[in-house]
Amino acid sequence: MARSCSSVDHPDLDSGLEDDLVSSVGDVRSVSDLELDTAPVTRARRSPPVSPHLKSFLRAMRTPKLCRTAEGGYELAEGGEGKAEEPDLEWEWWEGQCSFLGAGVGEGDVFSWHLDTMEKVHVLERQVTVLAENQNNNDDRYTRSKEENAALQARLIMLEEQELIQRLEREKTLELENQSIRLQSLEKEVRFAETEAARARQQLESVCAERASQEERLAQLTASLETARQESRSAVELERRGREQLEQERAAQSQMMSELSSELADTRQQASLRLKTESDEAGLMRLRQTELEAELRQLRQQNRELQESHDELQAQLLSSGLQEGRQLLESGPKSLALELEDLSGEQLKKSLLEQQEVNKQLRAYIDGILLNIVENHPQLLEVKQHP
């Protein structure tokens, strides 16, 4: 079986190169999954670096000797790997192209290997460019996403601050409304309290005025009661003295009448005895008449004296009543005030009505006594003019 020895890509090295390219750009996708024919090839921002796997692949191509089989495969040439008699391959890297020179390699194989290698290198370059573009796009998207995230976070913070400010403003508005409502209620309470205070002040003034009028009326009633008491005392005293004087006068008059009656009886007896003789009778009659006239004049004189003494007693009674009334007026209010301290208004009115009733009874009694005096002894009430 004819074999043609040529240096070709090693499958393990190609897979390692692909893994290195994929891991170098940070993409987890497999290189075989990329559609390189449809992927746009753009000019890279910078020249992709030569991978260490690519360098090791190129170095490895110098040592092994690969032979193409009839079936189109490759196998190592006989003689083993790393023998000293094998010609060394010299390679030269220039602008991404490889050229191998040596006595053991033909030009056709080198050219085909060169074309295959260059095609793979271009494919790898396009893949690296696409991956770099994807990485740059991913970086740009990441940067934009990060910036957008920062902007969104800032906007979120700003919105949260605005929401907080709005909530605080709503709370402030509600608090102001509550305070305004409370202030209005307090103002209503103050106005109501002022109205109640004014009404209470008016009631207090009316009560004070009524109390003053009641005190004034009480003073008037007290004065009237004291006057009635004084009148009652003076009337009782006057009645007592008048009664005593009337009894004395009645006793004196009855005694005088009895004496006159006895004298008249004696005179009549003597006159009847003297009638027996005319001479004796005439003399005795004239003598007795003279004596009777003298006695009558004496009795009239005594009556006048009694009347004068009666008038003097009445004057003394009136003067003593006035003096006692003045004394009661001077000393009465204190004792009356002491008496009225423990009395209520109803008790005071009741006692005043009772005293007025007693005064009416006393006046009626005094009027009855005076009427009896006028009917029986009017001369006792006569006022005589003293010369």
Consecutive sets of 10 residues in the chain, 387 residues long: mean pLDDT of each? 40 45 41 38 42 56 48 47 39 43 56 85 89 89 89 91 92 92 92 90 88 85 80 76 74 72 70 59 64 70 69 64 58 50 63 74 72 67 53
Question: Could you write out the three-class secondary structure of 134-168?
Answer: HHHHHHHHHHHHHHHHHHHHHHHHHHHHHHHHHHH
pLDDT value at position 186? 92
pLDDT value at position 225? 78
pLDDT value at position 156? 92
pLDDT value at position 274? 60
pLDDT value at position 368? 73
CA distance 113 to 116: 5
pLDDT value at position 229? 77
- Quote the strand ranges of the chain, DSSP E: 4-5, 66-68, 74-76, 90-94, 97-101
pLDDT value at position 20? 47
pLDDT value at position 318? 59
pLDDT value at position 331? 56
- What is the radius of gyration, based on Cα positions, of the chain? 83
Kindly report whether the global pTM for this prediction surpasses the value 0.85. Answer: no
